[in-house]
Amino acid sequence: MGNLLRYGSAGPPPEYDLSKVTVPTALYVGAADRFATPQDADRLAEELPNILENHLVEDPRWGHLHFGYSRHQGGVNERVLSAMRRIDSEIQQVQLEIV
């Protein structure tokens, strides 16, 4: 019903040109993720122009909810923080170049 109201069609929403998304992006996916599969992440990594990282947690039990709720983060949190630091450093460099 939502797609019908928003896009005028009950089918899937229209395609979006992901090459227009220029924000630095890091992808994290678990081997057992059923919401965002490793194949989904690989496809996004190919279509998005500014990928910092496409990381697969290879644990065969690691699913979508483990990223937020597992007590054993498998090093993922440190990878996320590292990506955020790189983005912050790039932003600060750009700001210095502007001034």
Nearest C-alpha neighbor of 29 from the set 55, 68, 51, 59: 55
Provide the pLDDT confidence category of residue 40 given band limits of 50, 70 and 90. Answer: very high
Q: What is the pLDDT of residue 99?
A: 62
Tell me: the pLDDT tens digits for 62-95? 898 888 887 777 678 888 888 889 888 888 877 7
Q: What is the pLDDT of residue 60?
A: 92
Tell me: the pLDDT tens digits for 1-39? 677 787 777 777 778 899 999 888 999 999 999 999 999
Assigned token pair, 86: 């790189």
- Return the SS3 of 25: strand
Four-CA torsion 32, 76, 71, 34, nearest 10 degrees: -20
**For the whole model, what pTM was predicted?**
0.74
